[in-house]
Amino acid sequence: MVRYEKNMGIIHVSWGYDETLRGYFLTVTDERVGWREDQTEEVSKVTEKVFEGGSGHYLILNTYWNLPSRVSQETIFTFMRRYDIDPEKIGTADATKQKAKRCSREECQMSETTLKRCGRCRRAWYCSTSCQTADWLTHKVDCSEP
Protein backbone atom coordinates (compact mmCIF):
# COMPACT_ATOMS: atom_id res chain seq x y z
CA MET A 1 0.00 0.00 0.00
CA VAL A 2 1.11 3.51 -0.78
CA ARG A 3 -0.10 6.16 1.65
CA TYR A 4 0.46 9.89 1.73
CA GLU A 5 -0.66 12.48 4.26
CA LYS A 6 -0.99 16.24 4.20
CA ASN A 7 -1.86 18.53 7.11
CA MET A 8 -3.04 22.00 6.17
CA GLY A 9 -4.00 23.65 9.43
CA ILE A 10 -7.39 22.23 10.44
CA ILE A 11 -7.55 20.17 7.25
CA HIS A 12 -6.09 16.67 7.23
CA VAL A 13 -5.93 14.59 4.06
CA SER A 14 -4.74 10.98 3.62
CA TRP A 15 -4.70 9.28 0.25
CA GLY A 16 -3.06 6.52 -1.71
CA TYR A 17 -3.41 3.19 -3.45
CA ASP A 18 -3.85 -0.24 -1.89
CA GLU A 19 -2.34 -2.84 -4.21
CA THR A 20 -3.86 -5.73 -2.27
CA LEU A 21 -7.39 -4.35 -2.62
CA ARG A 22 -6.58 -2.83 -6.03
CA GLY A 23 -8.05 0.56 -5.35
CA TYR A 24 -7.54 4.15 -4.29
CA PHE A 25 -8.55 5.73 -1.00
CA LEU A 26 -9.07 9.28 0.25
CA THR A 27 -9.86 10.46 3.76
CA VAL A 28 -10.57 14.15 4.40
CA THR A 29 -11.48 16.18 7.44
CA ASP A 30 -12.49 19.55 5.97
CA GLU A 31 -15.42 21.83 5.18
CA ARG A 32 -14.54 21.95 1.47
CA VAL A 33 -16.27 18.60 1.07
CA GLY A 34 -19.46 20.61 0.54
CA TRP A 35 -21.60 21.17 -2.50
CA ARG A 36 -20.15 22.74 -5.67
CA GLU A 37 -21.56 23.75 -9.04
CA ASP A 38 -20.69 21.66 -12.12
CA GLN A 39 -19.98 18.41 -10.29
CA THR A 40 -20.94 14.97 -11.59
CA GLU A 41 -24.01 13.17 -10.30
CA GLU A 42 -21.90 10.74 -8.27
CA VAL A 43 -19.92 13.61 -6.69
CA SER A 44 -23.26 15.26 -5.81
CA LYS A 45 -24.48 12.03 -4.16
CA VAL A 46 -21.30 11.80 -2.08
CA THR A 47 -21.69 15.45 -1.03
CA GLU A 48 -25.32 14.84 0.00
CA LYS A 49 -24.31 11.74 1.96
CA VAL A 50 -21.65 13.71 3.86
CA PHE A 51 -24.15 16.38 4.88
CA GLU A 52 -26.83 13.84 5.94
CA GLY A 53 -24.81 13.28 9.11
CA GLY A 54 -25.03 16.95 9.97
CA SER A 55 -21.34 17.83 10.27
CA GLY A 56 -20.20 18.01 6.67
CA HIS A 57 -16.56 17.96 7.69
CA TYR A 58 -15.60 14.33 7.26
CA LEU A 59 -15.22 12.17 4.15
CA ILE A 60 -13.90 8.69 3.45
CA LEU A 61 -13.88 7.41 -0.12
CA ASN A 62 -12.40 4.34 -1.76
CA THR A 63 -12.64 2.42 -5.02
CA TYR A 64 -12.47 -1.08 -3.55
CA TRP A 65 -14.78 -1.77 -0.56
CA ASN A 66 -18.41 -2.34 -1.36
CA LEU A 67 -19.54 0.04 1.36
CA PRO A 68 -21.44 3.34 1.17
CA SER A 69 -18.10 5.10 0.62
CA ARG A 70 -17.24 3.20 -2.57
CA VAL A 71 -17.08 5.47 -5.63
CA SER A 72 -15.66 5.39 -9.13
CA GLN A 73 -12.04 6.20 -9.84
CA GLU A 74 -13.16 9.36 -11.66
CA THR A 75 -15.03 10.58 -8.57
CA ILE A 76 -12.22 9.88 -6.13
CA PHE A 77 -9.81 11.66 -8.49
CA THR A 78 -12.19 14.67 -8.56
CA PHE A 79 -12.03 14.95 -4.76
CA MET A 80 -8.24 14.41 -4.74
CA ARG A 81 -7.77 17.32 -7.14
CA ARG A 82 -9.77 19.58 -4.78
CA TYR A 83 -6.88 19.14 -2.35
CA ASP A 84 -4.13 19.69 -4.94
CA ILE A 85 -3.37 15.97 -5.15
CA ASP A 86 -2.35 14.71 -8.58
CA PRO A 87 -3.77 11.17 -8.77
CA GLU A 88 -1.34 10.31 -11.55
CA LYS A 89 1.58 10.83 -9.17
CA ILE A 90 0.48 8.28 -6.58
CA GLY A 91 3.47 6.00 -6.29
CA THR A 92 4.01 2.29 -6.10
CA ALA A 93 4.88 -0.10 -3.31
CA ASP A 94 8.48 1.21 -3.37
CA ALA A 95 7.21 4.51 -1.94
CA THR A 96 5.58 2.57 0.90
CA LYS A 97 8.90 0.98 1.78
CA GLN A 98 10.49 4.43 1.93
CA LYS A 99 7.62 5.82 4.03
CA ALA A 100 7.86 2.89 6.44
CA LYS A 101 11.43 3.87 7.30
CA ARG A 102 10.13 6.61 9.58
CA CYS A 103 7.55 6.86 12.33
CA SER A 104 3.99 7.60 11.11
CA ARG A 105 3.57 10.34 13.73
CA GLU A 106 4.60 13.44 11.78
CA GLU A 107 5.92 15.28 14.82
CA CYS A 108 8.35 12.45 15.62
CA GLN A 109 10.45 12.21 12.44
CA MET A 110 12.33 9.24 13.95
CA SER A 111 13.88 7.20 11.16
CA GLU A 112 16.07 4.18 10.59
CA THR A 113 14.96 2.52 13.81
CA THR A 114 12.98 -0.60 14.58
CA LEU A 115 9.40 0.31 13.71
CA LYS A 116 6.30 -1.65 14.66
CA ARG A 117 3.07 -1.72 12.67
CA CYS A 118 -0.30 -0.70 14.00
CA GLY A 119 -1.80 -3.96 15.23
CA ARG A 120 -5.25 -3.14 13.90
CA CYS A 121 -4.77 -1.90 10.32
CA ARG A 122 -1.12 -2.89 9.81
CA ARG A 123 -0.59 0.20 7.63
CA ALA A 124 0.95 2.73 10.03
CA TRP A 125 4.41 2.31 11.57
CA TYR A 126 5.55 3.64 14.94
CA CYS A 127 8.86 3.85 16.76
CA SER A 128 7.24 3.58 20.20
CA THR A 129 3.98 3.06 22.04
CA SER A 130 4.03 6.71 23.09
CA CYS A 131 4.17 7.87 19.44
CA GLN A 132 1.35 5.50 18.51
CA THR A 133 -0.78 6.78 21.40
CA ALA A 134 -0.04 10.42 20.55
CA ASP A 135 -0.96 9.84 16.89
CA TRP A 136 -4.21 7.97 17.59
CA LEU A 137 -6.58 10.93 17.04
CA THR A 138 -5.10 11.43 13.57
CA HIS A 139 -4.62 7.76 12.69
CA LYS A 140 -8.01 6.47 13.86
CA VAL A 141 -9.65 8.19 10.86
CA ASP A 142 -7.87 5.74 8.55
CA CYS A 143 -7.43 2.79 10.88
CA SER A 144 -9.55 -0.23 10.09
CA GLU A 145 -8.93 -3.93 10.15
CA PRO A 146 -7.54 -5.27 6.87
pTM for this predicted structure:
0.46
Q: Does residue 94 carry a pLDDT above 60?
A: no
pLDDT band at 92 (very low <50, low <70, confident <90, very high): very low
Measured CA to CA, the distance from residue 123 to residue 139 in angstroms comes to 10
Gap between the Cα atoms of 65 and 21, Å rounded: 8
- Whether pLDDT at 65 is above 80: no
Separation CA 12–CA 59 (nearest Å): 11
Chain mean pLDDT for the chain: 75
* Whether residue 100 has pLDDT greater than 60: no
- 51 vs 128, higher pLDDT: 128
Angle between helices 73-82 and 41-52 (to 10 degrees): 70
Domain ranges of the chain: 2-89, 100-139
Q: How confident is the model at residue 67 (pLDDT cuts 50, 70, 90)?
A: low
DSSP 3-52: EEEEEETTEEEEEEEETTTTEEEEEEESGGGS--TT--HHHHHHHHHHHH
pLDDT in tens, 107-137: 886 665 677 888 888 778 888 888 899 989 8
Does residue 93 carry a pLDDT above 60? no
Q: Which residue has the higher pLDDT, 123 or 84?
A: 84
Q: Which carries the bigger pLDDT value, residue 89 or residue 5?
A: 5
Number of Cβ within a 10 Å radius of residue 120: 13
Higher pLDDT: 124 or 29? It is: 124
pLDDT of residue 57: 57
